[in-house]
Amino acid sequence: MKRNAIVPYILIMVLGLGLIFFLGIKGIGDSKEIAKEQDGGTQEETVAFEPEEFANTTCITCHGENLEGAGAPSLHGTGLSEDEIADILVNGTDGGMPGGLVNPENVEEMAAWIAELK
């Protein structure tokens, strides 16, 4: 009993072409959603700014794990007003603090959070 060796290859080819066809149709159906994501997404996808989370991912590298000072001064009990802290966040300092680490729309919220640290 001899089998034809070409049959498995034809089945694989038909399966591959079928997948390409159906995935192409799916892509056409999703094209509007993909274009919307590339244009900036939706409001539902916007994540709220969390000052503590931002500090724990960005500020701890210089200010230490508890923000109590390491290579940079402690952020607890700075004695600075929210406006002074906001100015430092935007413009930086001569001592090495770079400006612009916090997005401009989040500066006030971050300054208020730092001012509240005791």
What whole-number distance in Å separates Cα of residue 30 and Cα of residue 97?
A: 45
Q: CA–CA separation, 89 vs 63, rounded Å?
A: 14
Sign for the pseudo-dihedral over CA of 62, 68, 73, 79: positive
CA–CA distance, 42 with 26 (Å, rounded to integer): 21
* Distance in angstroms (rounded) separating the CA atoms of residues 97 and 99: 7
Q: Is 62 within any annotated ligand binding site?
A: yes
pLDDT at position 43, please? 52
Which CATH number is 51-116's, of 3.40.710.10, 3.40.190.100, 1.10.760.10, 3.40.50.880?
1.10.760.10
| Domain residue spans of the chain | 6-42, 51-116
Is 110 annotated as contributing to ligand binding? no
97 is known to lie in a ligand binding site: yes
The reply to whether 13 sits in an annotated binding site is no
Q: How confident is the model at residue 3 (pLDDT cuts 50, 70, 90)?
A: confident
pTM given for the model: 0.59
Q: Read off the pLDDT of residues 31-51 as tens digits, 9 standing for 90 and up.
A: 888 888 777 655 555 678 888
Q: Are residues 90 and 100 in contact, defined by beta-carbon separation less than 8 angstroms?
A: yes
